[in-house]
Amino acid sequence: MTEVERVQNIMRDVNSSKDAVKKLKYDPSTRTLRPASCYDDPDCVKPVTHQDMNLYMNLCAAPEACITISGSFIEQACSRGATYHALFSSKDNGTVFTLLQASKVETTVNGSLIFVKNLDDADVSVVGCDTDSVRVLVQKDRISDLRVKGYINKNGKWQQARVNIVPVKQQLFSRFAGILETNVLSEKHVLIAGLGSGGSAIAVRLAQSGIMNFTGIDHDRFEVGNIARHAAGISDVGRLKINIVRDLIHEKNPYATVKGVAERISWDNIETFRELVKQVDLVICATDNRISKRIMNRLCIEENKVLIVAGAFRRAYGGQVLRVRPGKSLCFQCFLDSLPQQAQDQEITSIEQSEGLAYTDRPVPIEPGLSNDIAPINQMVVKLAIQELLKGTDTTLKSLDEDLTADLYLWLNRRESQTGYEDLEPLEYNVDGITVMRWYGIDISKNPACPECGNFLAELSKRANVTVTKENAEEFTCL
């Protein structure tokens, strides 16, 4: 056997944890290796070449087990006793384990955080729970600098694994520095009605922006047909959408508070939703039916809360976003009365919605648009929401207040046939007029006779030239 072959065999043995007497020591000053058992024998010296190191790296290419834990979670667990049992998220064939939040995730394994007096003397095999797959030993008197050792159970044997201690909360929001000079968004509370393809994406993006408090409303369950456009995937089929979105938010921000309400929005339970609207700073309505939008519109006007309503046209060839500022702008009812044709042009995404709009002589087909086509609408909702929540705060986003002055916005994805937009000039190099792939702010005033936000009876009295009251209003509604 040559000297090179002998050293290569030693490397293989070390990598497979065989025969400790063949451990190698490396001298960085001379770039040489020699077995530890004959370290004083100069004849054992073997120069290390780049070919040797390449061979060693290839031998060590097997994935290294890794445990990642939130530092603040360890500190909280320490106050609860000597051993804290937790559910670690397990991924990548049992080589990656994470414990970054207290809530249960779908793929979990049992584990324990064990607080010991002396980390070096602790025996991992005799502590924790019998069902553990992961054990993390923490030296109790070193909580401040978190001295830990991690182990995973492989075929009944405990193997040490690398442990990453992550300051989750600090790193999670560090990217906002210089953009949001304050944590004002973390104190805000947003209500999102409708957690489908629009509401789910909006919720996730707001969570990524630093919103900490959410209330979600949706009575529906996730179906296979939703997968193409929803933020969730096939593993969520059958679950309530409020539970799915709660988990999606916590994946982005484990510190967020999420309240879910699995009730259908109707006139019968309007007072239930009134109490929810009172508790929040902003309401977003991303439902796919007009009744729920009208209900949320009325509640926000009466409770003086800003409402953002999102909607896509049929097959998502475009869409609109309406911002309702009570007492200052048009409301959703104004929009319905002023632009009835545009209000009627809506995307049909469900059987329930299709049946609600069906004609007596023919059904209305379910024709949802592409996920990519509703993404700009979701993004505009998030933009407007953040600007509303930051009103009165000095941030680098403040200049957008001068850009986003309109309350109704129009977006077009394509020049759809049999619409008022089919004859638009192609985008090409066009910088004038209306084209596809652009947002347009629409200047439209509130309706003074709006039955929701205006003085309907006073305006009706002017037209009828008599005093109209609630009691005799029906006699003059045709005017």
CA 223 to mean position of chain CA atoms: 19
Task: Give the three-class secondary structure for 425.
Answer: coil
Higher pLDDT, 342 or 223: 223
Query: CA-to-CA distance for 400 and 341, rounded, in angstroms?
Result: 30
- Helix (H) / strand (E) element for 401: namely helix 400-403
Domain 176-325+332-436: which CATH class?
alpha beta
Q: How far is CA 350 from CA 108, 203, 235, 346, in A?
A: 34, 21, 21, 12
Query: CA-to-CA distance for 189 and 280, rounded, in angstroms?
Result: 5
Q: What is the mean pLDDT of residues 393-420?
A: 91
Which range has the top average pLDDT, 59-63, 87-91, 237-241, 278-282? 278-282
Q: What is the DSSP letter of 62?
A: S
**What is the predicted pLDDT for the residue at 91?**
76
Share of the chain above pLDDT 70, in %: 71
Those residues whose C-beta lies under 8 Å from the C-beta of residue 253, and which sit 6 or more positions away, are 172, 207, 208, 210, 211, 212
Q: Is the pLDDT of residue 54 over 90?
A: no
Q: 347 falls in which pLDDT band (50, 70, 90)?
A: low
Q: 46 falls in which pLDDT band (50, 70, 90)?
A: low
Q: 25 falls in which pLDDT band (50, 70, 90)?
A: low
Q: What is the pLDDT of residues 428-448, one digit of tens each?
A: 998 888 999 999 999 999 988
Task: Determine if the pTM surpasses 0.75.
Answer: no
Adjacent-strand bridge partners of 358:
none
Break the chain into its structural domains and give their ranges: 3-59, 66-170, 176-325+332-436
With 0-12 CB in 10 A as exposed, 13-18 as middle and 19+ as buried, what is 93? exposed
